[in-house]
Structures are given as structure tokens and as C-alpha cells.
């Protein structure tokens, strides 16, 4: 038995959910605990004891010396737990390298989907973001961080998170309208250029029909939640709705277009039962 700490709002938690489906886990084999990211409960002192980064997913088990707090480690654990099912890590060293390359690629800071969810390049874009539910998310986090850091000043996570979330809070709430906001707009603009370059590079390193070759591997299970989240953050309605994200990126990189390999791979992976079970719609 193990416990998976997760959230429906988390892309990286879905690496674990996809692995649970792909490896055929039964619901009675584990306990699932939702961590309310939208209300900042990932910062709760009891949760931070499990995961000092205050992120999901996390996985605990009596058989583990310490909790697993990286989606990649959780995926390896889940893969090993059902050795009778095909492994998500190919045997060929070349394909294994490809898997690791693809996983590292989508985990790069420059490809964080927070760019699409929270950042803005100008005042109208900021106003749109403020009108969305994410305004409340930033406020909830601030409230929880302030509360928990007062009761648990010894937790090292709180001070840096108060600072980074505070910058967003001040911009969203009109407390910062000067040069720091201009810097933030410029960083977001650069962020879209970097994001476009990252998507181009992904297209060039992807294999077909699946990300690392002829079968579904750990690489597919990392790229799916990342891209699904990016498409959804941009306002994608259908699973294959690339247009809203493409349009957003084109405001900074006019020539940007999703690559044909990426689209082909997405078509293949989204036809699998594992995908359909976890992504009846984008999230």
C-alpha cells in the first residue's frame, strides 16, 4: 500500500495518474489524498513535512525510507510495482537516453506552464488574467503563506514563496504599477519566445509513433500532462485544440506553428485508453 498526494489542478501529479492506469493498478492498492492547491493547502505545515517543496505529487509508503517528491521518481516506483506489466522504461540504452532527454526537456524552467496561466505581456493581458479565477488563487496562496509562516517560522520554504507570490500579488492587485511591472511584462514576453523555442525543440527530438519510439514510455507520460495543461491554460476546449495556444504564442513569435511531429504524436497518444481515461477533457 502507498499514499499518493495529488491534485486535479496539477499537471505533474498526472504523471502518476497516467502511470497508475498504464500499469493497471487497482483502486484498492493505494490511497489517494487530494491537496487543495487552489487554496494553498500545499503549504500546510503537515504537508511540508512530507514534501519540503510544497508541491504535488508526493508518494509515501511504509516501505520507503522517505517520501518520493518528484514525479519522475514516483513514476519509477509505480513502474517497478507491477513488473508483470510492460516497463515504461525501454531496455535499449539509446531509447532510455531519449526518454530521459524528453523528460528533462519538458521539466525545464523555460517550459513552465505558469507562464500561460499567470503571466502577462501588457496591461490588457493582465486585465484578462485578473478577471480569471487565478486572481483568487494568488490571493489564497498569500493568505496561507502568511498564516503558516507566522505559526511555523522555522519552515525554510515560506520566505522565498512569500516573495515570489508577493510580486504577482502586488501586480495583480494594482500595488505595483511602475518599473517592476514593466520588467515583469518584458520577462513574460521573453518567456513566450523561450516557450516557442522549447516547443520547436520538442518537435525536433520527438520520435513517432510515441515520444521515444514504438511504444508508450515514461516520456509520453511526462509530455502528455505538460502539453495538456499548456493547451488548457491557453483556453483550449477540445483535446486537440492547438489554436488558442498557437495564437497566444504568435503575439510574441508571429511565425510560430506547432510542428507536424508534435501533432502526429498527440493524435497517437490521445487515442490510447490511458490518455482517454485521464483526459476526457483537457485540464
Contact, 18 vs 278, CB < 8 A?
yes
Number of residues that bind ligand GSH (CB under 6 A): 11
Q: Residues 165-204 vs ligand GSH: string with x where CB under 6 A?
A: ----------------------------------------
Contact, 193 vs 248, CB < 8 A?
no
Residue 210 DSSP SS3: strand
Minimum CB separation of residue 213 from ligand GSH in Å reads: 23
Q: 194 or 256, CB closer to ligand GSH?
A: 194
Q: Whole-angstrom Cα distance, residue 260 to residue 52?
A: 40
Does residue 149 interact with ligand GSH by CB under 6 A? no
Q: Which of 19, 37, 106, 118 binds ligand GSH (CB under 6 A)?
A: 37
Minimum CB separation of residue 229 from ligand GSH in Å reads: 8
Minimum CB separation of residue 113 from ligand GSH in Å reads: 8
Contact set for ligand GSH, span 7-26 (CB under 6 A): 10-12
Q: What are residue 234's phi and psi, to 5 degrees?
A: -80, -5
Minimum CB separation of residue 217 from ligand GSH in Å reads: 17
Q: Whole-angstrom Cα distance, residue 230 to residue 143?
A: 27
Which residue pairs from 265-272 have beta carbons closer than 8 angstroms and sit at least 24 positions apart in sequence?
Answer: 265/206, 265/208, 265/209, 265/210, 265/211, 265/223, 266/227, 266/240, 267/240, 268/208, 268/209, 268/210, 269/210, 269/211, 269/216, 269/220, 269/224, 270/239, 270/240, 272/216
DSSP assignment, residue 27?
G
Minimum CB separation of residue 84 from ligand GSH in Å reads: 26
Contact set for ligand GSH, span 47-86 (CB under 6 A): 54-57, 70-71
Q: Which of 42, 60, 95, 274 binds ligand GSH (CB under 6 A)?
A: 42
Handedness of CA 233, 234, 240, 246 (dihedral sign): negative
Q: 138 or 256, CB closer to ligand GSH?
A: 138
Contact set for ligand GSH, span 76-135 (CB under 6 A): none
Minimum CB separation of residue 182 from ligand GSH in Å reads: 25
Q: 115 or 256, CB closer to ligand GSH?
A: 115
Q: 17 or 98, CB closer to ligand GSH?
A: 17
Q: 93 or 160, CB closer to ligand GSH?
A: 160
Minimum CB separation of residue 104 from ligand GSH in Å reads: 11
Q: List, as one string, the DSSP characters of 73-85.
A: HHHHHHHHH-TTS
Q: In the bound complex, which residue of the shown chain has the CB atom lying closest to ligand GSH?
A: 55
User: 42-69 burial string, b = 16+ CB within 10 Å, else e?
Assistant: bbbeebbebbeebbbbbbbeeeeeebbb
Minimum CB separation of residue 164 from ligand GSH in Å reads: 9
Q: Which helix (H) or strand (E) holds 273?
A: helix 273-278
CA angle at 206 for the pair 204 and 211, rounded to the nearest 5°:
175
- Residues near ligand GSH, by CB under 6 A: 10-12, 37, 42, 54-57, 70-71
Amino acid at each position: 500500500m502507498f499514499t499518493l498526494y495529488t491534485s486535479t489542478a496539477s499537471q505533474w501529479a498526472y504523471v502518476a495518474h497516467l502511470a497508475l492506469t498504464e500499469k493497471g493498478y487497482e483502486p484498492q492498492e493505494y490511497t489517494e489524498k487530494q491537496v487543495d492547491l487552489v487554496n494553498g493547502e500545499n503549504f500546510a505545515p503537515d504537508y511540508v513535512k512530507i514534501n519540503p517543496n510544497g508541491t504535488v505529487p508526493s508518494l509515501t509508503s511504509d516501505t520507503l525510507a522517505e517520501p518520493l517528491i518528484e514525479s519522475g521518481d514516483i513514476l519509477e516506483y509505480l513502474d517497478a510495482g507491477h513488473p508483470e506489466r510492460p516497463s515504461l522504461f525501454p531496455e535499449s540504452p539509446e531509447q532510455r537516453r531519449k526518454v530521459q532527454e524528453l523528460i528533462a526537456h519538458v521539466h525545464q524552467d523555460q517550459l513552465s506552464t505558469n507562464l500561460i496561466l499567470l503571466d502577462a505581456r501588457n496591461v490588457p493581458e493582465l486585465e484578462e488574467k485578473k478577471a480569471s479565477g487565478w486572481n483568487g488563487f494568488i490571493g489564497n496562496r498569500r493568505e496561507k503563506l502568511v498564516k503558516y509562516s507566522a505559526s511555523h517560522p522555522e519552515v525554510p520554504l515560506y520566505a522565498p514563496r512569500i516573495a515570489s507570490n508577493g510580486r504577482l500579488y502586488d501586480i495583480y492587485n494594482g500595488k505595483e504599477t511602475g518599473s517592476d511591472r514593466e520588467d515583469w511584462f518584458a520577462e513574460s514576453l521573453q518567456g513566450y519566445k523561450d516557450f516557442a523555442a522549447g516547443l520547436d525543440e520538442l518537435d525536433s527530438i520527438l520520435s513517432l509513433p510515441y515520444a521515444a519510439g514504438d511504444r508508450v514510455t515514461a516520456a509520453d507520460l511526462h509530455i502528455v500532462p505538460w502539453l495538456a495543461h499548456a493547451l488548457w491554460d491557453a483556453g483550449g476546449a477540445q483535446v486537440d485544440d492547438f489554436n488558442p495556444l498557437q495564437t497566444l504564442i504568435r503575439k510574441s513569435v508571429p511565425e510560430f506553428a506547432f510542428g507536424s511531429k508534435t501533432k502526429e504524436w498527440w493524435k497517437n497518444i490521445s487515442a490510447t485508453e490511458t490518455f482517454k481515461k485521464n483526459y476526457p477533457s483537457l485540464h
